[in-house]
Every structure is written in C-alpha cells, then in structure tokens.
Amino acid sequence: MKLWGGRFDKASSKKAEEFTSSISFDRRLYRQDIRGSIAHARMLGSVDIVSQEESSEIISGLETILKEIEGGTFPFRLEYEDIHMNIEKRLSEILGPVAGKLHTARSRNDQIALDEHLFVREQCNRVRAGIACLQAAILATCREHESVIMPGYTHTQRAQPTLYAHHMLAYFFMLERDCSRFGDCRERADLMPLGAGALAGTTFPIDPAQVAEELEFSRLYDNSMDAVSDRDHIIEFLAASSLLASHLSRLAEELVLWSSTEFGFVEMDDAFATGSSIMPQKKNPDVVELIRGKTGRVYGALVGLLVTMKGIPLAYDSDMQEDKHGLFDTADTVSDCLSLMSSVISTMKVNGERMRAAAEKDFSTATDVADYLAAKGLPFRQAHEVAGRIVKYCTGQSRYLGDLDLEEFRKFSDLFHEDIFDAITVESSVGRRTSPGGTAPQRVREQMERAVALLEAKG
C-alpha cells in the first residue's frame, strides 16, 4: 500500500505509476534528503513533538540507510515513487511504526524544496571551484607566453596586433563574472524551506531555526507558500550556467579555429584530440567541439524550466518534478566542461612564431598609420582616409605597410617622416596601447597581477 493510500480504494495503474515515479533520477538527492531528515528528527525531539529516544532511533535508522545506499545494498523500488518515500518505507522496515513519526510537521513539498536548496548550494560551490581551476590554467599560459604577439580580430578579420596574454585574459575576467554570478545564486539559494509543510505551515510547535542552523542556512523563507512554490534558485543556477557555457563555447570556438592548419596558432595535446576513422592525417579538436556543442543542452534546460514554471498556480504542482533532469544534467555538464577545458589549456602548444607572423603579414597596423597622422595634427577622419588609400595601394601591389619606403608614404601625405617605420611595427602598435585595460605589456602585467589577486582571494 502507498504511504498516502488511505484515501484510495483502487491500486495505481502500472502505467501511471511508471509515468509519475521520479525515483530513477531523484535518487541522486539521497544525501540531501537524509541530511535534512536527520536535522528534522533532531528538531522534533528538541521540541518534544517526539521523544528524545524516538528521535535518536530515527536518526540511527537514517544513518543505516545512508550506509546501505552508499554500499549499493539499498532496495530502491519504483512503486515508492521518489527518494523520500523510498527512504521512509525502508525506515519503517528497520524501525517499525516509530518511523512514521519522522514525517510529522512536514510534507514532501517542503522536503523536496529543502533537498534542492541543499543541492544547488553544493553545486554553486562545485562550479566556482571549477572556474577557479580554469582561470589558473589561463593565467599560467598567459605567463608562459607573456610576450607573444598575435593578431586581434573583429568580424573574424585581422584587426590590430595584441598580446596573446591580453586575448586570453579576456576570458579570465569573463569567468570571474561567472564566478560572481554563482556566488550570488548560492546566496539566494541559502533559504531554508522546511517547516512550510504542504503550503500553509504546520500546527505543530516546530523550531525551523534549529534545522536551519544544523543545515547551515543563513535564513528562513518569510512565506510558506513561496517556500514550496518557486524554483527560482534552480532557474538562476541554470541561467548562470548558460552564461558560463556561452563563454566556454566562445573559447572553444577560438581553439577550434586556432588549431586548424589555416591558423596554426595552437596544437591540442594528443590526450585531448581524436583521429579520423578514414583519414589518417587528421587530428580533430573533438573535446573543445563537444564543449561548444554542450552549450545547447544547457540552454535547453534553462528554457525548459522557464516554460514549465510560467503557468503553474500556487502552490506545489507535479509539473515541478520536471525541474530535476535539467538541473542534474547541467550541473554535471558545466563541471565536466570546466575540468576538460582546464586540461586543454594546460596542455596545448602555443605557436608564438606563427601568431606573430600572422600579425605582421597583414595590415593590422593600419590604425597606427592613422593615429600617427592624427598625432601630427591631421583630423582623424582625414587620417583614416589616407591610411585606407595606402592600404589600397599596397594590396594592388601585393605588398604590406612595412614594404613601403618613405617616398611612397609621402605620396599620400607630407606629414610622414622616418619615424613612421617605428610606428608601424607590431611591437610599437602593442606597446603604445597603454589605456587602462589595453594590450600594452605593462597594462597586461597589471591585468595578470589583478588575476593573481582574484585567485588568491578564492584560496
């Protein structure tokens, strides 16, 4: 008989039982569920809703069940629907009728809300740790290749010279904001819902503050219906994960491009690349391609839960059972992607010479020509036009700016002098971009110092 079966005359349809059961996936919450039940049982004993002896007996039974689950001997049963009922049924087998007292003053509605709050808090910590590891890998490659010059891009076209370290540090600081978002998410998940009951609270003289203290929650929900009705902490976790996945996907896309023969900027370590079943020469960047690809499933989890929640009336509805698939999958996906991207960055070879050659054999210092003329007093818009005509002149002859002599420059403006040749080297271009956050070596060193400080602050 179902633990809730007193009102029913007929057994559940097998099809309905299979359709409504969640034990196949919410069994993952066993730790959180047992931890919450232990805290609840201890509180029930503290306020004399059950005796101290009964409280201790229930706690001992729950600890036995934890050992059974972790030892692989726990008898999970589909007909008991979910992790809560499976644990409670097993507790009754171990203890007898006293096990039924555990559910006093609570509902599965506030019980699952508690489990998910505990899970989201843990996963926020897990993801933040993964972000820090990736940031450390990025900082290490920046330090190792601090002086490497590469082309910066806009519209996937070579734009201006920049330092490789400057380029990679952009991802470091994107990830720092991601880390902050998960910290914010954890703070808002730090609410204790147990005690809300089904929706209206309970008639028993409970002490939810004691439970909150044991479970290390900083505060209680102000409203019992809110406590069991919303999943905004999960939605926020999925939203933060989606932004993180976006940043990982963009980095992955660049590594895919950079590892191609056409770019040749980096080479994946053999441990994080694959071959072709038909083409012996291939070395495919499958790991980063999959990181890029998994972004779609993370986005899907967010959109799916937003759509699920948008029309649900207060308080709890079974639709909310659908929150777990996407939550569990996303938590694992982003953590795996962070770990693998850290390994990819740590082991890949950076071809600094190829990067520098790409920056030199192009017109990435054309802006410096315009800046040179503007510094001589020519309005920038006119200077821009002159620089453009010089580029057009060079392309017509299959030459680059560094191939011209002074006489050729002066055909376009008499403001050009010998110092133009110093102005259009890639070192000069990079070195003179000293605005805050710029690519000049001293500015990049400042960014790395800031990055070190941020990582040290995380411990």
Q: Which domains, and CATH codes, for the chain?
A: 12-104 (1.10.275.10), 109-357 (1.20.200.10), 366-424 (1.10.40.30)
Give the C-alpha separation, 101 to 54, whole Å: 8
* Distance (Å, whole) CA 427 – CA 365: 10
Task: Read off the pLDDT band of 307 (50, 70, 90).
Answer: very high
Over residues 362-370, mean pLDDT: 94
pLDDT tens readout for residues 258-296? 999 999 999 999 999 998 889 888 899 999 999 999 999
Q: What is the pTM of this model?
A: 0.93
Q: Among all residues, which ones are annotated catalytic?
A: 155, 276
pLDDT over threshold 90, residue 37: yes
pLDDT value for 353? 97
Given a cut of 90, is residue 16 above it in pLDDT?
A: no
Task: Indicate the range of 6-10, 74-78, 172-176, 438-442 predicted with least confidence.
Answer: 6-10
Give the pLDDT mean for 433-451: 97
Average pLDDT on 203-208 reads 98
Q: How confident is the model at residue 371 (pLDDT cuts 50, 70, 90)?
A: very high
Instruction: Tell me the per-residue pLDDT of 314-363, one tens digit each, with 9 for 90 and over.
Output: 988 989 999 999 999 999 999 999 999 999 999 999 999 999 999 998 99
Query: Of all residues in the chain, what percent carry a pLDDT higher than 90?
Result: 90
pLDDT given at position 24: 87
Please give the pLDDT value at position 144: 97
Q: How many residues does the chain have?
A: 459
- Percent of the chain residues topping a pLDDT of 70: 96
Highest mean pLDDT among 4-13, 271-280, 311-320, 380-389 belongs to: 380-389
Q: What average pLDDT does this structure show over 136-163? A: 96
Residue 20 has pLDDT above 80, yes or no: no
- Residue 13 scores a pLDDT above 80: no
Q: Express each pLDDT in 98-131 by its tens digit.
A: 999 999 999 999 999 999 999 999 999 999 999 9
